[in-house]
Amino acid sequence: MPFATAPDGTRLYYDSVGTGTPLLLISGQGFDHHMWDGVRDDFARHFQVIVYDHRGTGQSDKPEHGTWSTQSFAQDAVSVLDAMGIQRAHAYGFSMGGRIAQWLGIDHPDRVLSLVLGATTPGNAHGVRRPAEIDALMASGQQARLLTAMVPPWWLATHPQWLKYMSDRARQPIPAFAQRQHYLASEGHEAWADLLRIAAPTLLIHGTADQINVSANSELMASRIPGARLHLIDGARHGYFWHAREQASAAVIDFLKAHPPDGFSDV
């Protein structure tokens, strides 16, 4: 069972599938690497896909002390790349994972080939806040009650395996202290002033019906990050990569293929 070790000694579980240019998938708040199970194979047909469990989740250590921030989580991501001997990788972060990916691009530019920032924000100080009732559910850790904010009811009704996954998470949640630390790290994110420093090619992808992180945030960030591209999925909710999988995966794969390590696009 492979583990990376963060600078503070925390062990981080990781896994890899596929071959080719490395692609690091960074999960959202409170999720372990299984968040990507439904779409990981889409990317593994083209890339070496790396997934890992954030500290506090899955098979990674769950330290009750230390610094928890999106910036320190980015260092955790670098520790995973170090453990695999990977110098540079594409990075695709979703929600809190997108906040973490921002810091990868800002603090660790030599480790990043390109960035995909999915359904994320630059931080509350300059971003657009979510509705108050959604924020209350996020703060409480009652993510099971956010199902219809994640995916449309029609999709939920036709994908029982996804509902089982979310139900299993509700029955076996991450420790309450870790859930709280993830929420505080995500809410404490503030990268607005530093977004101008992101040099990696960047794609922002977002559903227009997202209530958890409203899509106006990606529009703001696209105007802030030099050369960034914006891809909005009409009517998609926060979990766009699940219920709008075909469009979302294709958009991300096309973008990543346009930014290969050698600089010669194969699309």
Per-residue pLDDT of 97-149, as tens digits, reads 999 999 999 999 999 999 999 999 999 999 999 888 887 777 766 565 688 88
Domain count along the chain: 1
H/E stretch holding 202? strand 202-207
Per-residue pLDDT of 8-62, as tens digits, reads 999 999 999 999 999 999 999 999 999 999 999 999 999 999 999 999 999 999 9
- Does residue 9 lie in a domain region? yes
Q: Domain containing 155 — which CATH number?
A: 3.40.50.1820
What is the C-alpha separation between 120 and 222, in angstroms, rounded? 12
Task: Read off the pTM.
Answer: 0.95
**Around 50, how many Cα atoms within 13 Å sit in the side-chain half-sphere?**
26
Instruction: Name the token pair of 225.
Output: 């990050």
Burial class, 103, CB count within 10 angstroms (exposed 0-12 / middle 13-18 / buried 19+): buried
- Does residue 267 lie in a domain region? no
What is the residue-wise DSSP string for 130-150?
A: PPHHHHHHHHHT-GGGGHHHH
Q: Which domain does 145 fall in, by range?
A: 3-257
Q: How many C-beta atoms surround the C-beta of residue 17 within 10 A?
A: 13
Phi, psi angle pair for 26, to nearest 5°: -115, 115
